[in-house]
Structure 1
Amino acid sequence: MFQYVEQHYEDIDFSQKDLRYGELTRCTFTRCKFRSTSMEEISTLSSRFIECDFRGALLNASIHQQSAFVNCKFHEANLFVAKFHECKMTGSDFTKANLDGMTIDQGDWSYVNFRAAKLAKQDLRGVRFAEADLTEANLEKANLRHSDLTRAQLGRAKLQGADLRDAIMDGIDFPSINVKGARMDASQAVSFLRAYGAKVD
């Protein structure tokens, strides 16, 4: 186990290294590579990762609190039962990442690429997904109450049983999504009807 506090790294290649069980506190990594790096059970606190590459990284059971992963690549990374508490993830790409059992607690996930992501039954209350790409994502039975879905892309997303009440859905292209079985509040229902040309008084 190792502990890094207030360390700063730029353009460093940590690929395929063993960084398991480490603790990173108020550290900053800029344009660093973590390709296929073993980072199981690592914990971060108020650390920043900017334009870092986590392709194929093993982040199983990792815990991140109030950290930022901005414009990072998580292609095919393993995030099994990883936890993100009040993290800023804007612009990050999770293409083909394993998100099984991952916990998202609050935080800003705007502009993320969650295409075809498996987020069924997730508690996503209060999470900011503004302009996120959730095309074909599985959000069945997910709790999205009070979340911000402003201009998010939800085409062909699975929303059966999802709770959308009190979520901000400004700019949503309702005709492109199937809300059958989803729970909506009155204002969302009005927006949905207007999207189909209905006049609601």
Structure 2
Amino acid sequence: MKVITTRDWDAGAGKERRHEGVQFSALDLCETDVEGVEFSECVFRDARFNCSQHTDVAFLNCRFVNCNFFDATFTNCKAVGSSFEGCAFDLTTVDGGDWSFITLPRADLGSATFTGVRMREADLTGIRCRNGTMRGLDLSAATLTGGDFTGCDLRGTDLHAFDPRALELRDAVITADQAVVIAMTLGLQIRD
């Protein structure tokens, strides 16, 4: 597997539009703008995405290990099939895009903002979204067991995968329509 470091990135690798099967080791993308690039089956190890802007970038079946996404913004990006291990998401913003089939267990997204993102069949086991923002998400068939959504803004998000008996929802913000979905999940009968 080809290895790219920050020096390689700055020397020209950062201008390439497609990267396949590459390992990015300790890559520093702080305050970098990345647009229209595709990463396929790449590994990002100890990378720093702090304060970076990503627009229309595809991370397909990539692996992120011990990466820092502090204040990073992802607009209309894809992370389909990617996995995240030991990563920090403080103040991360994800607006639109497709993050389906990702593996993001036990991640702390409490200060992150996810809006309008497709996250079908995502593994979000034990995820911590306390006081976070997860609005307008498609979480169809997502695994959410053990998740903590205390105080999380979930308005507009598909809650069909939410089982209040298997996760924490206290003080979460939802709409009346979503309340009906939760009631039905609990087996309640709704009548006028």
Q: Which amino acid aligns with 2:71?
A: V
Deviation digits for residues 130-165 of structure 1 (CA, Å, limit 9, x no counterpart): 111222222122222222111222222121111222
Which position in structure 1 is the counterpart of 2:31?
41
Q: Which amino acid aligns with 1:138?
A: R
Q: Determine the C-alpha separation between the residues in 2 that align with 1:102 and 1:195.
A: 31
Which position in structure 2 is the counterpart of 1:63?
53
Deviation at 1:197, TM superposition (A): 2.2
3-state SS in 1 of match to 2:180: helix
Distance 1:124 1:37, change over 3 A: closer
Would you say 1:89 and 2:79 are equivalent positions?
yes
Which position in structure 2 is the counterpart of 1:102?
92
TM-score, L = length of structure 2: 0.87
- Kept in 2, the 8 Å contact 1:149–1:168? The answer is yes
Would you say 1:165 and 2:151 are equivalent positions?
no
CA RMSD of the aligned region, Å? Answer: 2.4
Distance 1:156 1:112, change over 3 A: same
TM-score, L = length of structure 1: 0.83
Higher relative strand content: 2
Q: Determine the C-alpha separation between the residues in 1 that align with 2:153 and 2:28.
A: 36
Deviation at 1:52, TM superposition (A): 0.4
Tell me the matched-pair count.
191
Q: 1:72 aligns with which of 54, 58, 62?
A: 62
Please list, as runs of the form range in 1=range in 2, the aligned pairs for 1:22-33 lying within 5 A after superposition: 24=14, 27-33=17-23
Which position in structure 2 is the counterpart of 1:154?
144
Q: 1:51 aligns with which of 41, 46, 49?
A: 41
- Kept in 1, the 8 Å contact 2:89–2:111? The answer is no
Which consecutive residues of structure 2, in runs of 5 or more, have no partner in the other structure? none
Would you say 1:189 and 2:179 are equivalent positions?
yes
Deviation at 1:112, TM superposition (A): 1.4
Identity, % of aligned positions:
31
Which position in structure 2 is the counterpart of 1:8?
none
- Kept in 2, the 8 Å contact 1:155–1:176? The answer is yes
- Kept in 1, the 8 Å contact 2:124–2:144? The answer is yes
Distance 1:23 1:30, change over 3 A: closer
Which consecutive residues of structure 1, in runs of 5 or more, have no partner in the other structure? 1-10
3-state SS in 2 of match to 1:54: strand
Q: Determine the C-alpha separation between the residues in 2 that align with 1:199 and 1:41.
A: 52
Q: Determine the C-alpha separation between the residues in 2 that align with 1:194 and 1:34.
A: 46
Deviation at 1:65, TM superposition (A): 0.8
Q: Which amino acid aligns with 2:185?
A: A
Please list, as runs of the form range in 1=range in 2, the aligned pairs for 1:105-184 lying within 5 A after superposition: 105-184=95-174
Deviation digits for residues 56-105 of structure 1 (CA, Å, limit 9, x no counterpart): 22332322111100111111112222221110111111110122222212
